[in-house]
Structure 1
Amino acid sequence: MRTLPSGIPFTAALGAASLLAVFNAGAPATAAPPPPGYRTDQVLATAVHPTLGGISIRRGFWDGDTDKGWGYDKVRHKHNIHSIYAQKRVLMSPNIEQQGTSYVLRAWAGRYRCSGSACRLVEQREVKGVFTNAHMTTLHGWPVNGVLGLQTMYCVNPQSAPQCPDWVVPAIERPGTPTGVSPRSTPGHDARNGVTLRTAYKPLPRTMTRRTGSVR
């Protein structure tokens, strides 16, 4: 059973209390059922959607042996979206589809290759966040004790691969302009190599201008 790494990316906006809640919540099960007393019902954060209201992100669990789970642990370990801040951004999307008591919220993340002021989209992922406002006592045999909130979040990948590429989280964490395209490039070698990451609540444009972030 692997333990939760301490390097979960957070921004100052999440606050010290949220940070402590994650670090002190115990070790998640990734290839076996959670240990006795595991706080699957613990609320780690709440995304405040302008239309749908508060959406809880509960600890949940992920068991790779049975392919069952829900909440933060499933999103982190099965789908490689390890940042609560990134999860919150997807859950605040205005792109909403209702399915009974559940809702699907969509965002897009992309990588652009830039030369001079021109940038070309080389890779894009649609990211879907699913939450339910149904009250539950348990799910898959583990405590919820309230409205479930975030059930899962994943990338729409080729061949239905379960994990998002590593660049998706930093792309989502970057705030966008009103057009959904951030003018800021990624730090480090990606910037030097002319690669920038963008995020939006709609499919990204095929080309853009690096200096202004405008669509071409």
Structure 2
Amino acid sequence: MNRVKNTVGAMAATVLLGAFSVPAAASTSSDAEAAANPAYRVLKHLDYSGPGKASLRVGYYDRTHDKGFGWNKVKKKHNITKYSAVEYIAKSPNRNRVGNSTTYHMTGYAGKYRCRNGVCTLVKQYKMILSVNEKVQRDGQDKGVITMYCVGVVRCPNWVSTTLAKENRSLAASDEGTVPEEDAPDNSQAPSDEVVDEADLEDENTPMDGGAPADEGDAVDGTETYLSSYQPLADSVSVTAPTTALTASGRERLAASYSPLAWTVPVSATEDRYRYAGSYNRLR
């Protein structure tokens, strides 16, 4: 009799354990999938001209099918390599909704001037478009950055990222939870549950002039000044145009503005705060 009771008790325990083991297995499977594909992981919350912050997620870029979103697409397809470059455009006051969707486009400009005889002439200008989808995801945050690119070319030249990033005013280093760019995972696999909105399929990177080399105007000879703005840049500026940073060479200058850039500004307003002088008499 005791043997029968023990057998029944063992069978009941087995059934109960089996019932409890199903959710655990499902949870493990879900966790494994999330670990295998980090596309929805947020790398940084960007300052944004729209409501709240814009999420910059790991995303993915499938080069074979030319599909993706987020940091991996921005970096791998369009050669935008700085979070701050993306954030500068995210703060643009030029914010337009795409149809009746939850996707918005922010725009700005990055340009290269060649300076000779006191005048800097615009030799290259790219219109920048950043696409942000505000649709809330399962984690309670927006899908965020879909793509960012230079209109006219697939891959932006390196100086575009540098120019935009130098002029971004965000204190990125203090953003809690930000994943450093060098630690952002590479990902080429789409998440299995991704829903792609039609408004996010637009990616205008076909050269405007099919007969012009993609790198025309991108050559560097040391006389360049790089500027960015939320409005189209002027065709020429004085060599004393506003500057906020110098490259290592000391000859390439970077500047940006939330309004059209001034043609000239006093040198004292743009140079370093310190001056060095030598004299045979006591300095005053």
Instruction: Indicate the TM-score class for this superposition, using the shorter chain for normalisation.
Output: 0.5 to 0.7
Once the two structures are superposed, what CA deviation does each residue of 1:7-44 show, in whole Å capped at 9, x if it has no partner? Answer: xxxxxxxxxxxxxxxxxxxxxxxxxxx99712111111
CA distance, structure 2, for counterparts of residue 198 and residue 129 of structure 1: 18
Match of 2:231 among 202, 209, 216: 202
Query: Conserved in 2, the CA contact under 8 Å of 1:174 and 1:199?
Result: no
Following superposition, the deviation at residue 203 of structure 1 comes to: 0.6
In 1, the alpha carbon distance for the partners of 2:154 and 2:140 equals 28
CA distance in 1, matches of 2:240, 2:60: 43
8 Å CA contact 1:104–1:131 kept in 2: the answer is: yes
Checking the alignment, whether the CA contact within 8 Å between 2:49 and 2:90 is kept in structure 1 is: no
Q: Is the 8 A contact 1:41 1:145 kept in 2?
A: no
Residue 94 of structure 1 is matched in structure 2 by 93
1:55-134 pair list within 5 angstroms: 55-99=54-98, 100-134=101-135
Q: What secondary structure sits across from 2:158 in the alignment?
A: coil
Structure 1: give runs of 5+ residues left out of the alignment: 1-33, 138-143, 177-189
Q: 1:162 is matched with which residue: 129, 146, 154?
A: 154
2:105 touches 2:131 (CA, 8 Å); kept in 1? yes
Once the two structures are TM-superposed, the CA of residue 145 in structure 1 deviates from its matched residue by: 7.1
3-state SS of the aligned residue for 1:167? helix
CA drift at 1:207 = 0.7
1:69 partner amino acid? G
Where in structure 2 are there 5+ consecutive unaligned residues?
A: 1-32, 169-219, 243-261, 265-284
CA distance in 2, matches of 1:51, 1:120: 34
Structure 2 partner of 1:215: 263
Instruction: Count matched residues.
Output: 161
Which residue identity is paired with 1:151?
Answer: I
Percent identity, aligned pairs only, is: 29
Structure 2 counterpart of 1:132, which letter? N
Q: In 1, are the aligned partners of 2:40 and 2:57 still within 8 Å (CA)? A: yes
Distance change in 2, residues 1:124/1:53 (3 Å): same
Are residues 50 and 152 of structure 1, via their aligned partners in 2, closer, same or farther at CA, if it must alter by over 3 Å? Answer: closer
TM-score, length basis structure 1? 0.68
Aligned partners of 1:39 and 1:145: how far apart in 2? 16
Q: Does 1:147 align with 2:142?
A: yes
Contact preservation (8 Å) 2:89, 2:130 = yes
Question: For the residues of structure 2 that align with 1:52 and 1:145, how far apart are their CA atoms?
Answer: 14
**Which protein has the bigger helix share?**
2
Structure richer in strand, relative to its length: 1
1:211, distance to aligned residue in structure 2 (A): 1.5
Tell me by how many angstroms 1:193 deviates: 2.3
Larger-gyration structure (1/2) = 2
Report the Cα distance in structure 2 between the residues aligned to 1:172 and 1:86, rounded to whole angstroms.
Answer: 5
TM-score (norm 2): 0.52
1:153 maps to a residue whose letter is: M
Distance in 2 between the 1:69 and 1:145 partners?
21
Root mean square deviation, CA, Å: 2.4
